[in-house]
Amino acid sequence: MSLKANMVIDQGASFSATVEVTDDNDDVINLTGYTANAQMRKHYTSLTAYSFSTSISPTTGVVTLSMSANTTNTISPGRYMYDCELTSDVGTIIRIIEGIVTVTPGVTR
């Protein structure tokens, strides 16, 4: 079961968030051999997706999701859905986090 967490992204600003992947005993999971993929969409069936850049620190179990200021500047303010999935080196896919993203409008140009 994935973690539920909502996020706020400021339009036109750099964004970064981290997720520590742990087991049921709160022990860090070694993510060696895993890749991450994360996207946000206006709704589940939306064809337009905004991808997060992802990085994994395998031995600490930390996955980082990020977007550049240039990328967030192209996203219209509003409410979106997101998730992040990990794929193991043998093809097993697990969703580690999901939730709502609120993109707040920027004023400074």
* Residue linked to tokens 């339009």: 11
Does 37 have pLDDT greater than 80? Answer: yes
54 in any annotated domain: yes
Range of the domain at 12: 3-78+96-103
pLDDT digits (tens, 9 = 90+) for 63-97: 999 999 999 999 999 999 999 999 999 999 999 99
pTM higher than 0.85, yes or no? yes
State the pLDDT at residue 63: 97
Q: How many domains does the chain have?
A: 1
109 in any annotated domain: no
Q: Supply 49's token pair.
A: 């997706």
End-to-end CA distance of the chain: 41
58 in any annotated domain: yes
Q: Supply 96's token pair.
A: 């580690």
108 in any annotated domain: no
In order of 13, 44, 57, the CA distances from 32 in angstroms are 31, 30, 8
23 in any annotated domain: yes
